């Protein structure tokens, strides 16, 4: 079968593309899911791997989990966690997180006595990691979900050693994480409405990227009309 690309926009986005048969060996059937939810299985699978890495260190009190960054990936971390504190410096992101039931706050509003056994760092930045160090309790686990840019080097102070902090990384996802992510959508734990702010056509994508970069919207998702098939 030959696939014909009917539309192509800058950045290589297309409505149709060819997939080698070998790539379909471990494909999940998602007929019971809405397409908008199914499209988010891969990013949520990365979150499921991150969560499994962080929570396997020891029994974690559900009230002692913090998620730094209330972007899409941070929101997913918080939704999977169930009970946690979400932290962000953007009032818009905090307001969005609160609207879907997450206890989101600005870091400056935390009480000095508050500390966390498990901290997920979703932004790939030194300041986000420094905040994690600040709020981590002795013996805590810090999960770095995103890397710093290639030109930067993560600075880990000596105090992390004396406080027995466990710093781990979580990159990408695997088949087990993907199956777990699908289960989250089937159960309704995560829904696309909670993390996608705008459903758009493919022609609107360049403009939407700009709006997302400027912080005007949270996350756009391209929806293809069946009439375009």
Question: Model confidence over 136-161: pLDDT tens digits?
Answer: 999 999 999 999 999 999 999 999 99
**pLDDT, position 120:** 98
Distance CA 43, CA 55 (A): 19
Minimum mean pLDDT range among 20-24, 48-52, 165-169, 187-191: 20-24
Query: What does the pLDDT average to over 77-105?
Result: 97
Residue 19 belongs to some domain of the structure: no
Do 104 and 166 sit in the same domain of this protein?
Answer: yes
Do 144 and 210 sit in the same domain of this protein?
Answer: no
Query: What does the pLDDT average to over 98-112?
Result: 96
Residue 9 belongs to some domain of the structure: no
pLDDT digits (tens, 9 = 90+) for 163-204: 999 999 999 999 999 999 999 999 999 999 999 999 999 889
Residue 15 belongs to some domain of the structure: no
Q: What pTM was computed for the model?
A: 0.89
Do 130 and 91 sit in the same domain of this protein?
Answer: yes
Residue 3 belongs to some domain of the structure: no
Do 103 and 155 sit in the same domain of this protein?
Answer: yes
Residue 129 belongs to some domain of the structure: yes
Average pLDDT of the residues of the chain: 90
**pLDDT, position 12:** 60
Do 126 and 92 sit in the same domain of this protein?
Answer: yes
The domain tally of the chain equals: 2
| CA Rg value for the chain | 19
**pLDDT, position 57:** 53
**pLDDT, position 1:** 37
Do 44 and 125 sit in the same domain of this protein?
Answer: yes
Do 225 and 159 sit in the same domain of this protein?
Answer: no
Residue 42 belongs to some domain of the structure: yes
pLDDT of 60 strictly over 70 = no
Find the CATH number of the domain harbouring 167. 3.40.50.720
Distance CA 93, CA 106 (A): 10
Query: Is there a contact between 58 and 110 (Cβ–Cβ < 8 Å)?
Result: no
Do 166 and 77 sit in the same domain of this protein?
Answer: yes
Query: Is there a contact between 137 and 160 (Cβ–Cβ < 8 Å)?
Result: no
Do 168 and 201 sit in the same domain of this protein?
Answer: no
| Residue 64 CB coordination number (10 Å) | 17
Distance CA 105, CA 115 (A): 14
Residue 6 belongs to some domain of the structure: no
Long-range contacts of 202-210, Cβ-Cβ distance < 8 Å, separation of 24 or more: 202/7, 202/9, 202/13, 202/15, 203/7, 203/9, 205/9, 205/11, 205/13, 206/9, 206/10, 206/11
Do 59 and 135 sit in the same domain of this protein?
Answer: yes
The model's confidence at residue 59, banded by pLDDT at 50, 70 and 90, is: low
- Measured torsion, CA atoms of residues 146, 189, 97, 119, in degrees rounded to the nearest 10: -40
Find all residues with CB under 8 Å of 91, minimum gap 6, and list them.
Answer: none
**pLDDT, position 21:** 86
Beta strand ranges found along 43-157 (DSSP E): 65-68, 85-87, 103-105, 116-121, 136-144
Do 212 and 155 sit in the same domain of this protein?
Answer: no
Residue 24 belongs to some domain of the structure: no
Give residue 214's domain range.
197-229
Do 89 and 141 sit in the same domain of this protein?
Answer: yes
């Amino acid at each position: 079968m030959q696939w014909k690309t009917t539309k192509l926009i800058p950045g290589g986005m297309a409505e149709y593309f060819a997939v080698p048969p070998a790539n379909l060996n471990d494909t999940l059937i998602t007929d019971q899911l809405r397409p908008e939810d199914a499209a988010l299985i891969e990013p949520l699978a990365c979150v499921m791997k991150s969560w499994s890495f962080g929570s396997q260190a020891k029994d974690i009190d559900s009230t002692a989990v913090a998620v730094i960054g209330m972007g899409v990936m941070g929101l997913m971390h918080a939704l999977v966690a169930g009970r946690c504190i979400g932290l962000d410096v953007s009032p818009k992101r905090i307001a969005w997180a609160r609207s879907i039931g997450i206890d989101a706050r600005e870091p400056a509003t935390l009480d000095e006595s508050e500390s966390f056994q498990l901290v997920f760092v979703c932004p790939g930045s030194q300041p986000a990691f420094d905040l994690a160090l600040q709020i981590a309790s002795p013996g805590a686990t810090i999960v770095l979900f995103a890397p710093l840019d290639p030109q930067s080097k993560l600075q880990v102070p000596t105090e992390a050693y004396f406080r027995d902090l466990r710093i781990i990384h979580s990159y990408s996802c695997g088949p087990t994480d993907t199956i777990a992510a699908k289960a989250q959508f089937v159960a309704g734990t995560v829904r696309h409405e909670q993390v996608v702010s705008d459903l758009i056509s493919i022609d609107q994508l360049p403009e939407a990227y700009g709006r997302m970069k400027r912080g005007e919207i949270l996350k756009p998702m391209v929806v293809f009309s069946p009439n375009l098939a």
